């Protein structure tokens, strides 16, 4: 292993993520995420976070709304702070905080595409279920907690009513998702040429809808939002993926007889290789400590720890995917400021413990 | 006139700031444009989706980037 080999092991992993099968799912996913940010009305959801809403409604909305509200992590923190301080309180707030980063559309699609559909689905279900559990625990532990209750209304935007019918909006999103599904489908099911033809037709349909039912300004905002998300997420993902490859190269240099693609995986296999409770615990602690930019958790599990090569078991992999993105150092600094050190520590411990068990159960049963 | 832009520094908040400045200049209005970036302060005002625009202390826009026409109407 020379420095040049190490560099090339970074390039190799990068190439895997720039290959057609990843890009064909990521590009439509960015467009969908942009459309969600611009066209889906968030006001109707926000009202369920008020302090008057019935608790079971707040919890269920908080556990799934991350898919629509939290496309970018910079929106999660104001929402979290708002729900905690002015709205439904610590329980629904932590539910939202946990599920938000885990169930955004980009993360789900990339997980399913790169790591497999089973673990992608398990991640969604695990994140939603776990978020409610953690929220309920937090609400129970801090049930005597006093909150300022001086002025509990949340301002939402009333205007921006469009005259577009719901049918058109739904059709628009269905077409976007169709592009994603067909584009990502393996060429065993649909050969390349009909696939391109179908996607071309759907694109034309979408253009027709945009021309007749959406204003020029809305389309412009959609483009702006999509580009903005791509700019924010993609470079960091690609740099991160490259670094993952380089770490593999360095590890292969240090561990004799291993390849850059599996060095770390082989090294951690004794700890993360089995579907036992210790492996899950170990892996959720790693997830909580490591800072993972959006989407990079997929590369860390798949390439660095060798899930894609079968070196890491499905249980620890899911535990890391669940604990990882929801806790990061920059996030924790802000969260600690908002809810205090004690609550933040309890939250971290809860995440690690529950992720361990959910990963363990998945590893035992489904994975 | 006092125009406050609430946002923790995301791209959308910056584009609102730019838009407001352009329109204030275009219409030739005397206005103080203030950026509120402190999360606690933003939440204390009841805003949980940024960016938001306050004009003379009243909330006008929450959670989205307004169009130029809309802002012109609000500022007149």
In a domain, A205, yes or no: no
Distance of residue B48 Cα from the nearest chain A Cα, in angstroms: 5
**Model pLDDT for residues B31-69, shown as the tens digit of each residue:** 889 988 888 888 888 787 778 899 888 888 887 778 888
Place of tokens 């209750």: A149
pLDDT at A352: 93
Chain B residues inside the 8 Å CB shell of A86: 43, 46, 48
B14 close contact with A: CB closer than 8 A: no
Look up the domain containing A306 and give its range: 3-164+214-365
pLDDT at A13: 86
Look up the domain containing B52 and give its range: 2-75
pLDDT at A292: 79
Distance of residue B47 Cα from the nearest chain A Cα, in angstroms: 6
CB contact under 8 A, A74 and B8: yes
Chain B residues inside the 8 Å CB shell of A79: 48-49
Res. A225 pLDDT band, cuts 50 70 90 = confident
Q: What's the number of domains chain A is made of?
A: 1
Q: In Å, what is the CA distance from B65 to each residue of A1, A168, B12, B13, B57?
A: 51, 23, 7, 8, 19
pLDDT at A208: 93
Which residue in B10, B23, B19, B21 sits closest to B49, CA to CA? B10
**Model pLDDT for residues A295-350, shown as the tens digit of each residue:** 888 988 988 888 888 888 899 999 999 998 878 777 788 888 888 999 999 999 99
Indicate whether A150 pLDDT > 60: no
B43 close contact with A: CB closer than 8 A: yes
What's the rounded Cα separation, in Å, for the pair A347 and A343?
6
Higher pLDDT, A103 or A157: A103
Q: Residue B41: which CATH number? A: 3.40.30.10
In a domain, A180, yes or no: no
What's the rounded Cα separation, in Å, for the pair A25 and A294?
16
A40 close contact with B: CB closer than 8 A: no
With a pLDDT cut of 90, the percent of chain A lying above it is: 24
Annotated catalytic sites of B, by residue?
10, 13
CB atoms within 10 A of CB A318: 32
- ∠ CA(A82), CA(A86), CA(A90), 5° rounding? 75
pLDDT at A5: 83
pLDDT at A64: 87
Q: Of A155, A219, A229, which to mutate for an interface test with B (greatest number of B Cβ within 10 Å)?
A: A155
Please provide residue A133's backbone torsions phi and psi, each rounded to the nearest 5 degrees: -60, -50
Res. A72 pLDDT band, cuts 50 70 90 = low
Mean predicted confidence (pLDDT) in A168-195: 83
pLDDT at A367: 58
A339 close contact with B: CB closer than 8 A: no
Q: 3-class DSSP state for residue B45?
A: coil
**Residues A249/A6, Cβ–Cβ less than 8 Å:** yes
In a domain, A228, yes or no: yes
Q: Which residue of B has its CA nearest to A79?
A: B48
Choose the closest CB to B46 out of A74, A154, A224: A154
Tokens of B50: 């940024």
What's the rounded Cα separation, in Å, for the pair A333 and A317?
26
> For chain A, how many residues are written?
367
CB contact under 8 A, B48 and A228: no
Chain A residues inside the 8 Å CB shell of B62: 43, 155-157
Please name every residue paired with B34 in a beta bridge, in sequence order, or none if there are none: B4
Q: What's the number of domains chain B is made of?
A: 1
Choose the closest CB to B64 out of A154, A160, A232: A160
Indicate whether A237 pLDDT > 60: yes
**If you count residue pairs, one on A and one on B, with CB atoms under 8 Å apart, how many are there?**
71
pLDDT at A154: 64
Mean pLDDT, chain A, as a whole number? 84
Tokens of A112: 């399913």
Res. A70 pLDDT band, cuts 50 70 90 = low
A85 close contact with B: CB closer than 8 A: yes
A46 close contact with B: CB closer than 8 A: yes
Cβ burial, residue A174 (10 Å; 0-12/13-18/19+): exposed
Res. A209 pLDDT band, cuts 50 70 90 = very high
What's the rounded Cα separation, in Å, for the pair A367 and A241?
25
In a domain, A239, yes or no: yes
CB contact under 8 A, A82 and B52: no
Interface ipTM above 0.85: no
Chain A residues inside the 8 Å CB shell of B39: 77-78, 81, 334, 338
**Model pLDDT for residues A13-62, shown as the tens digit of each residue:** 888 888 867 777 888 888 988 888 788 777 777 778 877 778 888 899 88
pLDDT at A344: 92
CB contact under 8 A, B43 and A85: yes
Indicate whether A162 pLDDT > 60: no
B73 close contact with A: CB closer than 8 A: no
DSSP structure class, residue B65? P
pTM, to two decimals: 0.82
């Amino acid at each position: 292993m020379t420095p040049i080999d190490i560099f090339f092991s970074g390039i190799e992993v990068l190439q895997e993520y720039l290959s057609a099968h990843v890009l064909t799912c990521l590009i439509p996913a960015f467009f969908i995420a942009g459309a969600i940010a611009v066209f889906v009305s968030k006001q109707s959801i926000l009202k369920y976070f008020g302090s008057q809403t019935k608790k079971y409604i707040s919890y269920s909305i908080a556990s799934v709304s991350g898919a629509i509200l939290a496309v970018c992590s910079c929106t999660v923190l104001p929402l979290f702070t708002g729900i905690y301080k002015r709205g439904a309180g610590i329980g629904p707030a932590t539910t939202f905080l946990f599920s938000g980063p885990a169930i955004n559309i980009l993360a789900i699609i990339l997980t399913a595409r790169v790591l497999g559909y089973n673990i992608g689905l398990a991640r969604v279900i695990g994140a939603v279920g776990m978020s409610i559990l953690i929220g309920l625990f937090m609400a129970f532990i801090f049930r005597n907690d006093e909150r300022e209750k001086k002025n509990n209304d949340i301002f939402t935007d009333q205007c921006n009513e469009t005259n577009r019918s719901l049918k058109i909006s739904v059709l628009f999103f269905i077409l976007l998702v169709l592009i994603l599904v067909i584009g990502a489908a393996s060429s065993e099911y649909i050969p390349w040429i009909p696939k391109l033809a179908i996607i071309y037709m759907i694109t034309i349909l979408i253009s027709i809808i945009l021309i007749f039912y959406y204003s020029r300004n809305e389309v412009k905002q959609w483009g702006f939002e999509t580009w903005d998300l791509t700019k924010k997420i993609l470079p960091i993902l690609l740099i991160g993926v490259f670094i993952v490859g380089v770490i593999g190269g360095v590890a292969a240099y240090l561990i004799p007889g291993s390849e850059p693609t599996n060095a770390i995986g082989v090294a951690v296999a004794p700890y993360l290789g089995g579907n036992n409770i210790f492996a899950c615990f170990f892996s959720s602690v790693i997830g909580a400590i490591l800072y993972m930019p959006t989407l990079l958790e997929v590369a860390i599990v798949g390439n660095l720890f060798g899930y894609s090569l079968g070196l890491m078991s499905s249980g620890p992999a899911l535990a890391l995917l669940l604990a990882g993105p929801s806790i990061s150092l920059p996030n924790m600094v802000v969260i600690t400021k908002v809810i205090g050190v004690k609550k933040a520590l309890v939250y971290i411990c809860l995440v690690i413990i529950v992720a361990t068990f959910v990963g363990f159960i998945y590893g035992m049963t489904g994975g | 006139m006092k125009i406050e832009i609430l946002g923790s520094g995301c791209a959308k908040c910056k584009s609102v700031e730019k838009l407001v400045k352009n329109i204030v200049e275009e219409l030739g209005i005397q206005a103080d444009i203030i950026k509120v970036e402190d999360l606690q302060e933003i939440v204390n005002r009841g805003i949980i989706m940024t960016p938001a625009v306050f004009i003379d202390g009243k909330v006008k826009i929450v959670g989205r980037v307004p169009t130029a026409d809309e802002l012109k109407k609000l500022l007149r």
